[in-house]
Amino acid sequence: MFKINDNFCRLPESYLFSEVARRINAFREAHPEADVIRMGIGDVTLPLCPAAIEAMHKAVDDEGNPATFHGYGPEQGYPFLRDAIALHDYKERGIDIDASEIFVSDGAKSDTGNFGDILSADATVAVTDPVYPVYVDTNVMAGRAGENTSGGWSRIVYLPVCAENDFEPALPTDGTVPDLIYLCYPNNPTGTTLTRSQLKKWVDFALAHGSLILFDSAYETFIREEDVPHSIYEIEGARRCAVEFRSFSKTAGFTGVRCGYTVVPKDLKGVDSEGKEVSLNHLWNRRQCTKFNGASYISQRGAAAIFTPEGRRQVRQAVDYYLENARVLREGLLEAGLQVFGGVNAPYVWIKAPAGMSSWEFFDMLLEKCNVAGTPGSGFGPAGEGYFRLTAFNTLENTIEAVRRIKEARF
């Protein structure tokens, strides 16, 4: 009989957001009259902006005409999009990133998960805790995680972020040097950020110890405060130690359209088992050409449109709308007497479950008493236990209503 990849059997029974969705659906079946407000998975609710819609309509027309039809595109993405990204997301911010260092994809989830393909199966991994579960689960699949214990995976280094350390992960001080360090800022799930000097500590650590930082900045568009870096490449030396992942999902509502990109600077080198330096840009290109045929022409045209002046204005408006929801949530929940974090430069609000409740207990109670669905913090890692995440991606009306119900419930 053929053998399967055992690592998949080590994974938790289901992916966090599938489990949350399953429980919400079970509740709805049992209580069909309940008007459940969903603030669990970070899926957007506003429709795509008009600039993207118009560009995608035109792209569909291009596909219907032999003179403008596009079949397989470049695996790395079309130059019209790579150039727009390099110019607007980097050069205009004074960051030196070339279009040839940008790889367009179907989103940051796939790229953060797939990037491990080009890294050693023996690499040691560090994650902030709580953490976006994709980083951990994909390393379990690759056999890098070790054994699942009550405190997490035995070969994964957990860097707790919690109220006690003001949500700043501490550098390892016990001599541990992780080969791969996953950082996501603005952070999912806590909605907190790092300042430039806080992020610089990690870049300096990676440079000093030869680690690679996998920097997920999917929520970059939500940054409104001055001292919060938009890109890790704002920090000197990051071109030699960091890959950056970006997404149009939360920026421009592309959760259903699918488009994102990964930056792999040409200065970034790893070593092979004989100690010879190898370019990660070259390896990632090789990986993508073999396993990926590029994001669709239509999505890429839509993504390029968000860099036009009207596209940028429309995106800003939508992101401001979600940030207003985050403010309503944050302030309302504080008024309700809860301890609340994040939600200033991010669409996520991180709440301490009241009265010593566990994350899942609070999930059940909020669903039953208020018909509000969120995500239990423990699903994001051991240090998430006792916390809870709500997203600002619902409508303003529903956000106000959720806050009203939570205040009324008097936790």
Closest to ligand MLT by CB, 132 vs 185, is 132
In the complex, the smallest distance separating the C-beta of residue 310 from ligand MLT, rounded to whole angstroms, is 26
In the complex, the smallest distance separating the C-beta of residue 137 from ligand MLT, rounded to whole angstroms, is 12
In the complex, the smallest distance separating the C-beta of residue 381 from ligand MLT, rounded to whole angstroms, is 13
Binding mask 37-76 for ligand MLT (x = CB under 6 A): ----xxx---------------------------------
Closest to ligand MLT by CB, 42 vs 294, is 42
In the complex, the smallest distance separating the C-beta of residue 218 from ligand MLT, rounded to whole angstroms, is 7
Which 3-state string (H, E, C) describes 42-83?
Answer: CCCCCCCCHHHHHHHHHHHHHHCCCCCCCCCCCCCCCHHHHH
In the complex, the smallest distance separating the C-beta of residue 274 from ligand MLT, rounded to whole angstroms, is 37
- Report the number of secondary-structure helices (H) and strands (E) in the chain: 13, 17
CA–CA distance, 63 with 55 (Å, rounded to integer):
12
Closest to ligand MLT by CB, 253 vs 265, is 253
Q: Residue 40: phi, psi to the nearest 5?
A: -90, -90
CB burial of 140-170 (b: ≥16 within 10 Å; e: otherwise) equals: bbbebbbeeeeebbebbbbbbbbeeeebbbe
Q: What is the DSSP string of 308-322?
A: SHHHHHHHHHHHHHH
Query: Which contiguous run of DSSP H or E holds residue 279?
Result: strand 277-279
* Terminal Cα distance for the chain, rounded: 55
Binding mask 152-191 for ligand MLT (x = CB under 6 A): ------------------------------------x---
C-beta atoms surrounding 242 within 10 Å: 27
Closest to ligand MLT by CB, 43 vs 63, is 43
In the complex, the smallest distance separating the C-beta of residue 272 from ligand MLT, rounded to whole angstroms, is 32
Closest to ligand MLT by CB, 18 vs 154, is 18
Number of shown-chain residues binding ligand MLT (CB under 6 A): 6
Q: What part of residues 80-109 is at the interface with ligand MLT (CB under 6 A)?
A: 109
Torsion of CA 291, 295, 297, 303, to 10 degrees: -160
Query: Secondary structure of the chain: what % helix, strand, coil (to 5)?
Result: 45, 15, 40
Residue nearest to ligand MLT (CB): 42
Closest to ligand MLT by CB, 42 vs 343, is 42
Q: Which residues contact 258 (CB under 8 A, 6 or more apart)?
A: 106, 107, 249, 295, 296, 299
Q: What is the DSSP string of 345-411?
A: SSSEEEEEPGGG--HHHHHHHHHHHH-EE-EEGGGG-GGGTTEEEEES-S-HHHHHHHHHHHHHH--
Binding mask 5-44 for ligand MLT (x = CB under 6 A): ------------------------------------xxx-
Closest to ligand MLT by CB, 90 vs 132, is 132
In the complex, the smallest distance separating the C-beta of residue 379 from ligand MLT, rounded to whole angstroms, is 10
Closest to ligand MLT by CB, 18 vs 68, is 18
- Residue 261 DSSP SS3: strand
Q: What part of residues 106-135 is at the interface with ligand MLT (CB under 6 A)?
A: 109, 132
In the complex, the smallest distance separating the C-beta of residue 113 from ligand MLT, rounded to whole angstroms, is 10
In the complex, the smallest distance separating the C-beta of residue 109 from ligand MLT, rounded to whole angstroms, is 4
Closest to ligand MLT by CB, 90 vs 245, is 245
- Residues within the interface to ligand MLT (CB under 6 A): 41-43, 109, 132, 188
